[in-house]
Amino acid sequence: MLPVIALVGRPNVGKSTLFNRLTRSRDALVADLPGLTRDRKYGEGRLGERPYLVVDTGGLSGDEEGIDALMAQQSWQAVEEADAIVFLVDARDGLTAADEEIAARLRRSHKPVFLAVNKVDGLDERVVDAEFHALGLGQPLRLSAAHGQGVRVLIDTMLEAVPATEAETEARREEDRRIRIAFIGRPNVGKSTLLNRIIGEERVVAYDQPGTTRDAIFVPFERDGQAYTLIDTAGVRRRARVHEAVEKFSVIKALQAMEVAHVTVLVLDARAGIGDQDATLAGLAAEAGRALVVAVNKWDGLSPEQRDRVRADIERKLPFLGFAELHFISALHGTGVGDLFDAVKRAYRSATVDLSTSELTRLLEQAVTEHQPPLVRGRRIKLRYAHQGGQNPPLIVIHGNQTERVPDAYRRYLVNFFRQRLKLVGTPVRVEFRSGENPYEGKRNRLTPRQMRKRKRLVRHVKRGR
């Protein structure tokens, strides 16, 4: 597999800034706020001569309690998974007792550790080197993650120390074959618990507190020979309730995760009921055109009356999700979780199906025969042939005359007809109309008077049946 580089250190020393610099992205949230990163976050390194994976971790302070203790556990687990470690310290804060404690534990890991001293711009290099040499981790590598100073030297030094493997190229090919699944939902509906249940470990922080997940977390996973990338997203609340700037960025990350996913799993809370925000999220997923599976969580322990009420609310508030499969699960106990993958695979196959022009045209003829398009100004709309215009979601392009006048009701009829006949499940289907150009349009006025008289005589003869 690709070499894995973990970024560890105290809170607010610049790990997420360095992560974004190495991945040439803005995938990790960055703000002047300690404890912003709470889970391990993976990214593909794009700075350097070889591919690699970078892991951003939560800050370590040594006196963690509650959710901070779970964050620390995530960070040390990343150290165990890594092939090399960047221990980031803050030159402006100087050497701290927490730095010394972290360094001592890193030495016991027996992993290659590279000491990176961040925020050195404007400081005396000799003083910085002398202070951090005391950690016993070799020559400090000075850098400024915010400005990119020294970052290339750091990554080149690390990649030289990590031997290349033949499996690196194959790993990149495998990533292209992965099915990306984004888990979305309101805060505290159980997305992280569901993801941990699926992979069988405490991969993401699950805590009984809304807003625990602030970033979109990408987790590689394999099941029954199929490779997946599971994406845990921050819970999306009503805009009026999104006050902190950090949480606003989290909402953006959740929306971006839907854009890059092949399949979206909308997680609903059966005990809290179906709210307006659930409908908004479902609408965003449908607008993104992604395949969709609906998982109603916390189903265990509900009375028959409560279950009937939840089903009725889904039919009433989410009627536009008729194409999506509905599953009732318990992420905490695992009930029904295994069935989600069969639904995901069905939705993915439907979203990426290849459709021939001959098959689509034949179905179009059947649809028109069963239900003719309406008349427009006394003329019938003519639909001639259809072909596939794209995937995920399937796009069907229909050619004909006056197609710009096709009413929305007839468009919906065609969408439902194609979905049923093609047996597509879990994915929206889009229909696009295109009108052919009339080759004689604009030429009538160019006829000579003699040609006009000849044409009129021909029309009279046709009307008399000659």
Every domain of the chain and the residues it spans: 4-169, 178-351, 353-466
Of the listed ranges 52-61, 214-223, 248-257, 454-463, the one predicted with least confidence: 248-257
pLDDT tens digits for range 427-439: 999 999 988 654 4
Dihedral pair phi/psi, residue 153, rounded to 5°: -65, -40
Long-range Cβ contact pairs of 135-138 (< 8 A, separation 24 or more): 135/87, 135/89, 135/95, 135/99, 135/100, 135/103, 136/103, 136/107, 137/87, 137/103, 137/106, 137/107, 137/113, 138/114
CA 388-393-396 angle, to 5 degrees, is: 25
Per-residue confidence at 214, pLDDT binned at 50, 70, 90?
very low
Mark 352-369 as b/e (b = at least 16 C-beta within 10 Å): eeebeeeebbebbeebbe
CA-CA distance, 209 to 50, in Å (whole number)?
40
pLDDT reported for residue 70: 62
The total number of residues shown for the chain amounts to 466
**Options 3.40.50.300, 2.60.120.260, 3.30.43.10, 3.50.50.60; CATH of 178-351:** 3.40.50.300
Please compute the mean of the pLDDT values over residues 396-415 and round it to a whole number.
90
Nearest residue to 370 (alpha-carbon basis) of 408, 418, 404, 323: 418
Same fold, 4-169 and 353-466: no
Q: Could you tell me if 282 and 314 are in contact, meaning their C-beta atoms sit under 8 angstroms apart?
A: no
CB atoms < 10 A from the CB of 194, how many?
Answer: 26
CATH architecture assigned to 4-169:
3-Layer(aba) Sandwich (3.40)
CATH class of 353-466: alpha beta
Higher pLDDT: 96 or 375? It is 96
Q: Could you tell me if 318 and 397 are in contact, meaning their C-beta atoms sit under 8 angstroms apart?
A: no
The structure tokens listed for 109 are 């890991």
